[in-house]
Amino acid sequence: MVQARGGGVGDIVRRGYQPADKQDVFDISNASGLEPYDISELDELFSSWPEGQHVAYDAENEKTVGFLSGRIHRPETNRIYMFAVMPGYRSRGIGQLLLDGFFSLSRDMGSDVILEVRASNGRARRLYDSNGFVEVCRISGMYASGEEAVRMKKEITFITSNENPDA
């Protein structure tokens, strides 16, 4: 487990997803504007690649407050499939904590990381930019709203200067 920076949210730790996190993860998704899905899909999603499913857990309040769900896109490329932090817990480094865990896992696998983000999602795009992601293409028809998705990629098979390889 790895601890996030402080900020009055108690002890936030990153750990692997557990079935007991399911309802909190579903609530975070709904509060964060992710594409709607049925809660029953989470079991399949999280069991398909257990190592790629991370949550941020508020130990003091016994609550899951963020999650990152990864997929193996193809050999040597992992995909950030779902990623969100509960409103009220944002801008305190919890998203970065989750990203660092996924980068560390991907580096161990010798894999780069891709993701898709809504073109209008400036907050998330800034975070990805600052983590070395670059736009590779635009995809239409991905979201129910019809908004364009931006596919971004980060090559992490080598260590870049803004990362802590031990995070």
Q: Which two tokens stand for residue 106?
A: 């991907």
Interface characters, 19-58, with ligand COA (x: CB under 6 A) = -------------x--------------------------
Q: Which is nearer to ligand COA, 94 or 114 (CB)?
A: 94
> What is the three-class DSSP state of 47?
helix
In the range 76-105, which residues lie near ligand COA by CB under 6 A?
A: 83-85, 90-96
Q: Which is nearer to ligand COA, 9 or 156 (CB)?
A: 9
Q: Where are the alpha helices (DSSP H) in 6-151?
A: 22-31, 41-48, 94-109, 122-130
Q: Which is nearer to ligand COA, 5 or 110 (CB)?
A: 5
Stretch in the footprint of ligand COA (CB under 6 A) among 11-19, 37-45, 114-122, 158-166 = 114-122
Name which position in 41, 43, 76, 123 contacts ligand COA (CB under 6 A): 123
Is the alpha carbon torsion for 132, 5, 99, 106 positive or negative? positive
Does 124 sit near ligand COA (CB under 6 A)?
A: yes
> What is the three-class DSSP state of 125?
helix
Q: Are 128 and 117 in contact (CB under 8 A)?
A: yes
Q: Are 66 and 56 in contact (CB under 8 A)?
A: yes
Position with the least CB separation from ligand COA? 95
Q: Which two tokens stand for residue 4?
A: 């996030």
Q: How far is the CB of 152 from ligand COA (least distance, A)?
A: 9
∠ CA 123-30-149, rounded to 5° = 45
Rounded Cα distance between 115 and 52, Å, is: 14
Is the alpha carbon torsion for 70, 71, 73, 78 positive or negative? positive
Name which position in 126, 136, 138, 159 contacts ligand COA (CB under 6 A): 126
Q: Which is nearer to ligand COA, 31 or 110 (CB)?
A: 31
**Interface residues with ligand COA (CB under 6 A)?**
5, 7, 32, 83-85, 90-96, 115, 117, 121, 123-124, 126-127, 130
